[in-house]
Amino acid sequence: MWIHLSEVLSAEGKEKTYTCEIGFNAFQTGNGSYPVTEKSPVSLKIVNLGEKRLLLSGRCSLTLSIPCDRCLEEVPQKFDIPFEREIDMNQTEEERIEDLDEQPYIVGFQLDVDRFVETELFLHMPMKVLCSDDCKGICDRCGANLNRETCGCSQEPKDPRMAAILDIFHSAADQ
């Protein structure tokens, strides 16, 4: 959804509240595409602070289905993201890039709400997603999910030079 900002920019102190549906059904990152399984409308309040500066504040809530980093099972990740951003409409796109505030969600005097939500989501993505803290992952040889089954693969290291290290771990576990 696009919001034209000229109405709010028309008078200092003017504010407007919007409720916008999230238009994307999958969230794209460099690691893949994660389906959006639940989403609620974005509540957005835009306030003219004067001198062509705007304050965007509000909240968005959605759930992504992200694979576990160990076993690759899908894990629902809920995001309830409050946000508050000040935007200086006096800056050119080049100045925003120099300030490391590219704001790809502002084009001219229009706000792309979906892009804004995606930017906020990038900032709140977890470093690691696990289905549980004690996830055993998958077997590196046969690919079996070790949370659901045990595999018959040999536990010997692939590289015989690593056998000494494996012996250290076994002796530590026995003590």
> What number is the average pLDDT over the span 50-70?
94
Task: Count CB atoms within 10 A of the CB of residue 60.
Answer: 23
pLDDT recorded at residue 104: 76
- 97-124: per-residue pLDDT in tens? 666 555 578 888 888 999 999 989 998 9
Query: Is residue 158 over pLDDT 70?
Result: no
Give the residue ranges of DSSP H helices in 24-162.
93-98, 113-124
Query: Is residue 144 over pLDDT 80?
Result: yes
Please tell me the pTM assigned to this model.
Answer: 0.76
Q: How far is CA 1 from the centre of its chain?
A: 19
Query: Is residue 72 over pLDDT 90?
Result: yes
**CA–CA distance, 59 with 96 (Å, rounded to integer):** 24
**CA–CA distance, 84 with 1 (Å, rounded to integer):** 19
Higher-pLDDT residue of 155, 75: 75
